[in-house]
Structure 1
Amino acid sequence: MRAFLVDDEGLALRDLERQLTKIGGIEIIGTYKCAADALEQVPHLKPNVVFFDIDMPEISGLEAADLLHKIDSTIDIVFVTAYQEYAVKAFELAALDYVLKPINTDRLSLTVQRLSLRENNFTRYNDAPIIATVCCFQRLHIEYGKAEPFQWRTVRAQELFSYMIYKRNQPVRKDILLELLWPETEYKKAYTQLYTTVYQIRKSLDTAGLSIKLTNSGSDYYLDMGNNQYDVQDWEEARQLLPSLTAETAPLYVQWLKANEGDFLSEQDYIWAENERQRLRDIWYKHALAVGQVWKEAGQLKEALQLYDLVEKRFPHVEEVYSNMMQFYAEAGDLHLVRKKYEQLCKMLQDEYGIAPSQPVSQWYDQIIS
């Protein structure tokens, strides 16, 4: 593993070089007292890791790390400093590790082990890149070719990632995330929790070998999906590929409807997800009713009713669903099922809303039965 060491103090620089040489596993290809000089050589010497002191003149280690990410985001960063308070900022910049001065050799050995493990994982993932699918229908889960489920370090990390998927490929201001996830928390503490949570997400993605990137740019975060897939987006795009709706093409629409396996993040009680949940429900409902109408007009009542069994499961509290099913049964000449469905409608409306069926529906029913 090829490393740059950057520290404006000569003695500290030599001590870090000596300890890393003693531990082994690191090829030191450059030592620099100025961060600007190190950054200039990065494209030419291509280090795998840079050890940055944080408290340096002109360009601090934190600023240099931010600039390094823009040059090559695959290079690992280890901060070496005497100041504990920089730890939170180090997390935000996705540093691999954070080592306090004076450096303890055993502690530095752990850093080298982590670097070695990461290099082995990176080589393996580059040989066989993982294309993951982020799934948000019904619940958040990530399919990435492994039997064990993707692990979230905290519930808050899972929610933050869910929101960034919802806002994928567009910048999201940090203050919006603070208001969304930590509205009652004191400002400085909330920022600390945000940075820590972002760090946890990055570590989880990295451990799984995924190429999804959560990046920081000043006041914003940005989730780059890369070549990975998102089931909601895939579902919506698949609709654009369907042919015009006819009785013959209707089965393709039903297949597409079934690919939506449940409401958006329905198992997570996220208030912010409700608008997206309702938008997708409206799309599903609109197209399901359109398919049912096409089959009704074609006289394919059996197919229409089979579809409406699915619609009723998704929308058990919508009067229109019951009303349409009663009309299908009436066209089929089955008044017994018309009565049964009307009774179900009456019970549902009374139980859920404390009301009776609407006047148009009750009048239609009275006419059909009489």
Structure 2
Amino acid sequence: MFNVVIVEDEVPALELMKYIISRNSHYNIQGEFTNPIEALREVPNLRPDVVFLDVEMPNLNGLELAHRLLLKLDDLQVVFTTAYKTYALDAFEVNAVDYILKPVTPASIERVAQRLLKNHHPKTSAVEMGRTAHIQCFGDFEVRSARGEWVRWPTRKTEELFAYLLCHAGKEMSKWRLADLLWPDMDEERASHNLYNTVYRLKKILKEHNLGMELLKRNEGYTLDSRSQRVDVVVFQQYDFTLPEDQIDIEQLEQLCALYKGPLFGRKDYLWKVSLEEVYAKQYRMLVRTLNREDGKRQAWSRMEQRLHAFLLIYPLDEEMNQAILEVYERSGNRDLMMKHYTQFELGCRKELGIDPPQAMRDWALVHVHGNT
């Protein structure tokens, strides 16, 4: 895990970066600064692995700040953020690891992480030594050992079996159902033989990578015991989404919301995941609605904006959440962002879907965006 400091003079951009970086398991945010002079004074004391620097800052720009920090921390990894491609060459003149064009996205932050992993070994702390394996099912399917090593699956079916069992953790799954699920067109005897071999491979992977799980033989089936490992999809399964509003723990909802990074298993083409994917997407939407409703009562517009940005990074043309963020911009008095966002959504609808925004949103935009009455 890389210890990170962010230096960004614009608060909305800083909040968005914090939100996206905190959702990536490669990073631990140590500090944040909106004032580059203060950052120059304090960052050497924090001794981070990586610093994300905005290039365009008053008093001391990101390029000069990087030069000065590197004089004090010669092993510091620098990543620049900028709205202009023209700064790219300047960024590499100070031996930057990478530069990111704004707006920052989860994909760009992950790209930086992969580059850092190739050329830098982060400091190992006592906390990190106690880390558990990392298993992510929402968004890309990621499985890494406690040492941060990616699991290399011996076969695609071994990976798929693990994915399916994660979605049914703690439940006994019939071996006949598993065989039919993985090899639907194969005769029973061969499918059963393949399942036996795949289970053996999976047990070996779980043990060799110390994933904190055990695959148990139960009567005529198997059970994945995941109790010692926190997995996003299992946490969703364990939460009671039927709780009445007066029993909801807002902090717990925030934690659940942060776990959802995209559709179940991303682009994996598992046929059985389709119905489950719809369920989890609906639950995520429910979480966002509930949290937005609570923040609306408190007029916490900045927090609502961050959450809606995260949702729209996953589902960019969702009508409900695009309408919601337009209303947040209006209520917070940010007319320029409201106009820009509606224009982008309108273009996206036409380019990706070949249609205009829904009539109700167009009517709303006529009044609130274009100022017609």
TM range (shorter): 0.5 to 0.7
Give CA-to-partner distance per residue, 1:265-323, whole Å, 9 cap, x none: 11422221222222222222222233223333433333322332222112212111121
Give CA-to-partner distance per residue, 1:176-232, whole Å, 9 cap, x none: 223221122233322222221112112222333566333334532222335344332
Distance in 2 between residues matched to 1:226 and 1:325, nearest whole Å: 38
Aligned partner of 1:231 in structure 2 is: 232
- Cα separation, partners in 2 of 1:130 and 1:191, compared to 1, 3 Å: farther
- Residues 320-329 or 296-305, more deviating: 296-305
Identity score, percent: 23
Secondary structure (helix, strand or coil) at the match of 1:223 reads: strand
Which residue identity is paired with 1:167?
H
Task: Tell whether the 8 Å contact from 2:232 to 2:259 is kept in structure 1 after alignment.
Answer: no
User: Mapping of 1:336-355 within 5 angstroms?
Assistant: 336-355=336-355
Structure 1 position 244, deviation (Å): 7.2
Give CA-to-partner distance per residue, 1:233-288, whole Å, 9 cap, x none: 23565789x99799xx9677545422334432114222212222222222222222
- Residues 249-258 or 134-143, more deviating: 249-258
Number of matched residues? 239
Secondary structure (helix, strand or coil) at the match of 2:304 reads: helix
Aligned partner of 1:275 in structure 2 is: 275
Structure 1 position 163, deviation (Å): 0.8
- Cα separation, partners in 2 of 1:245 and 1:144, compared to 1, 3 Å: farther
Task: Tell whether the 8 Å contact from 2:180 to 2:191 is kept in structure 1 after alignment.
Answer: no
Give CA-to-partner distance per residue, 1:40-90, whole Å, 9 cap, x none: xxxxxxxxxxxxxxxxxxxxxxxxxxxxxxxxxxxxxxxxxxxxxxxxxxx
Q: Which has the larger radius of gyration?
A: 1
Aligned partner of 2:172 in structure 1 is: 171
Which residue identity is paired with 1:199?
Y
Task: Tell whether the 8 Å contact from 1:130 to 1:210 is kept in structure 2 after alignment.
Answer: no
Which residue identity is paired with 2:329?
Y
Gaps of 5+ in 1: 1-128
Secondary structure (helix, strand or coil) at the match of 1:271 reads: coil
- Residues 153-162 or 282-291, more deviating: 282-291
User: Mapping of 1:69-218 within 5 angstroms?
Assistant: 132=133, 134-209=135-210, 212-218=213-219
Distance in 2 between residues matched to 1:232 and 1:196, nearest whole Å: 26
- Cα separation, partners in 2 of 1:282 and 1:195, compared to 1, 3 Å: same
Which residue identity is paired with 2:202?
I
Aligned partner of 1:284 in structure 2 is: 284
Aligned partner of 1:8 in structure 2 is: none
Secondary structure (helix, strand or coil) at the match of 1:149 reads: coil
Aligned partner of 1:263 in structure 2 is: 263
Gaps of 5+ in 2: 1-129
Q: TM-score, normalised by structure 2?
A: 0.54
- Residues 255-264 or 164-173, more deviating: 255-264
Which residue identity is paired with 1:290?
T
Which residue identity is paired with 2:172?
P
Distance in 1 between residues matched to 2:245 and 2:140, nearest whole Å: 31
Task: Tell whether the 8 Å contact from 1:319 to 1:345 is kept in structure 2 after alignment.
Answer: no
Aligned partner of 1:95 in structure 2 is: none
- Cα separation, partners in 2 of 1:302 and 1:251, compared to 1, 3 Å: farther
Q: Considering only aligned residues, what root-mean-square deviation do their CA atoms show, in Å? A: 3.4
